Amino acid sequence: MKKITILFSFIITLSLSCTDDSTKTLPQDTSKTSTRKAIEITLKDIYNKPDLEIPTIASLRGEVVILDFWATWCSPCIAEFPKNNVLYNKYKGKGVNIIAITNDPKEKLENFLKNIDLDFWIGRIEGKQTLKDYEIQSFPSIVIINKKGEIVYRGNRLTEKLIEEVLTTDTITLKKLAEPEMKNDSKVSGIPFSGGYYPGEDPVYIDLMKNISSNKPEESRKLVDKANIRSFVIRKSPYQKSNIAGYGSQNNSVGITIIGNELINIFKIINKIPSEIRIKNNSKDTFAYDIIYSKNEKGNDLKKAFKEIHEELLSYLDIKFKNVKNEHLVNKLSVTLPNKYIIARNELEEGTSTLYTPIKRLIPLFENTSKEFFTSDTTLKDKLVYTYGMKLNEIKKATDPIQEIKLLLQEKGIMITKVKEPIETFEIIDSQ
């Protein structure tokens, strides 16, 4: 296999969370938190509360208080809102209060709220003191306070089981209910792939070092630190096939870690091709590969790094990557009349970006789930569609994905027609 040269790297976090300047570390542990008295919060504004009286932890003593720390720019936060809204309405009569707390500017927050229907309380703070008081490291972050005013839980997601338990026992003993488990059974030499690395780090090396030094915590950390090395590796993966990939760049440093990916997905990533159905692998190579890349060089960026990996793959595997443009039957999106659900980017109000999705980002989702080609007419070019509350995950579960997509788009005034059009596709073939 390819000779290894040693390189530098950065962070990848394979988790559904957002960070900003005040939230640089990984999400909090979602296991039971030892109880301690909740620190008082100072809200500047409250929304969705009928009397508009600013609540405090003290004023809510005797009831369960759930603090949901979020931001308008945090997509995973917004994705939880419909579920949290249902939980709030189910338990508000049982002494449960949900306060979603953000330090977004007032105008930005109010733009967001006038474009969305929520029932639970929204609280606005100023500055970062409350975030520091509650040790908030990432968004979304959930803190549950029992009827005695004690913190009994920290996590990243709210569940009905958590609410039921704190109502029944005044504490939380459930383990890791708030964090979705990564479904990854990949193993190498009996060592499971643990899920989060710095782009440019080699998971095989790190997992091996952790395993070797599992009984030596201090030495273990030193050994793992040695994995922050300079490298450009292409190899057949010792892991089971997956779609795990992470990359990042800062200044002239680029780090890329791709684990257990087949050629179609690798070329999709490094060439920024919207969906995998636009690539056909007609070569004999059906292996899964790891790519570990990290360089710190003047003028280096992701585009240059992806090009370098692309060229090395062609040479190393003795294959060709061809551009093919033929006519195909496509699902064409169009809108007959302007409506409030479809806007141009310059019409997007500050604070509402997470409520809309560019049409050009929906098309890859539709293609990957339906395995059919999609395009849009000029009326939808560069437009955004209001997708908050759209059950896009239902497409994957549907027996007829195209019909499910049609139903979802009809709600937004978009229709689909079948037409024949030239579509740019790609082909991987053997050189000989």
Averaged pLDDT, 140-155 = 96
Distance CA(172)–CA(176), nearest Å, equals 11
Nearest CA to 291 out of 347, 340, 327, 242 is that of 242
For position 180, what pLDDT does the model report? 36
**Cα–Cα distances in angstroms (integers) from residue 116 to residues 39, 100, 352, in the given order:** 30, 14, 9
Residue 196 confidence class, pLDDT cut points 50, 70, 90: low
Q: What is the pLDDT of residues 199-213, one digit of tens each?
A: 888 888 777 776 766
Torsion of CA 166, 171, 177, 178, to 10 degrees: 80
Residue 423, token pair as written in the block: 């579509």
* Dihedral Cα 314, 319, 325, 330, nearest 10 deg: -100
Task: Give the tens place of pLDDT for each residue, 81-97.
Answer: 999 999 999 999 999 99
The most distant pair of C-alpha atoms in the chain lies apart, rounded to whole Å, by: 76
Q: What's the pTM value of the predicted model, to 2 decimals?
A: 0.80
User: Residue 73 is encoded by which pair of tokens?
Assistant: 């720019």
Query: What is each CA distance from 380 to 35, 334, 344, 413, in whole angstroms?
Result: 53, 7, 9, 11
pLDDT of residue 12: 34
Give the model's pLDDT for residue 337: 83
Cα dist. 138→15, 20, 100, 196, 380 in Å?
Answer: 11, 8, 14, 16, 35
CATH superfamily, domain 36-169, is Glutaredoxin (3.40.30.10)
CA 329 – CA 176 distance, rounded (Å): 46
CB 313 within 8 A of CB 234: yes
Share of the chain above pLDDT 90, in %: 68
Chain segment 273-295, per-residue pLDDT in tens = 999 999 999 999 999 999 999 98
Taking only the tens place, the pLDDT of each residue in 97-115 is 999 999 999 999 999 999 9
Residue 393: predicted pLDDT: 85
Inter-helix orientation angle 203-212/217-225, to 10°: 160
Per-residue pLDDT band at 404 (split at 50, 70, 90)? very high
Distance, in Å, from the CA atom of 313 to the CA atom of 154, rounded to the nearest integer, reads 44
**Per-residue confidence (pLDDT) for residue 199, from 0 to 100:** 85
CB 240 within 8 A of CB 185: yes
Check: CB of residue 282 under 8 Å from CB of residue 227.
no
Closest of 268, 307, 311, 264 to residue 283, by C-alpha:
264
Q: State which of 22-26, 336-340, 384-388 shows the largest mean pLDDT.
A: 384-388
Q: With 50 as the cut, is the pLDDT of residue 268 above it?
A: yes
Question: 167-170 long-range contacts, Cβ below 8 Å, gap at least 24?
Answer: 167/64, 167/91, 167/94, 167/95, 167/96, 170/146
* pLDDT for the residue 20: 57
| Strand 191-192 versus strand 187-188 pairing type | antiparallel
Model pLDDT, residue 302 = 94
**Mean pLDDT taken over the chain:** 85
Residue 396 has a pLDDT of 87
Which pLDDT value is given to residue 391? 87
- Every domain range in the chain assigned CATH 3.40.30.10: 36-169
Strands 96-102, 64-69: pairing kind: parallel
pLDDT at 200: 86
Q: Is the pLDDT of residue 189 over 60?
A: no
Residues contacting residue 260 through CB under 8 Å, at least 6 positions apart = 186, 237, 239, 240, 241, 242, 244, 288, 289, 290
Residue 348 reports pLDDT greater than 90: yes
Digit-coded pLDDT (tens) for 7-54: 333 333 333 467 654 433 333 444 444 568 999 999 999 999 999 999
- Averaged pLDDT for residues 51-58: 96
DSSP letters, 267-300, are HHHHTT-S-GGGEEE-SS---EEEEEEEEE-TT-
Task: Report how far residue 380's alpha carbon sits from residue 334's, in angstroms, rounded to the nearest whole number.
Answer: 7
Q: pLDDT tens, 227-236?
A: 556 789 999 9
Higher pLDDT, 172 or 17: 172
Distances (CA, A) of 17 to 66, 96, 128, 277: 18, 25, 18, 29
pLDDT: which is higher, 29 or 390: 390
Q: What is the pLDDT of residues 212-222, one digit of tens each?
A: 666 665 555 55
Residue 183 has pLDDT above 80, yes or no: no
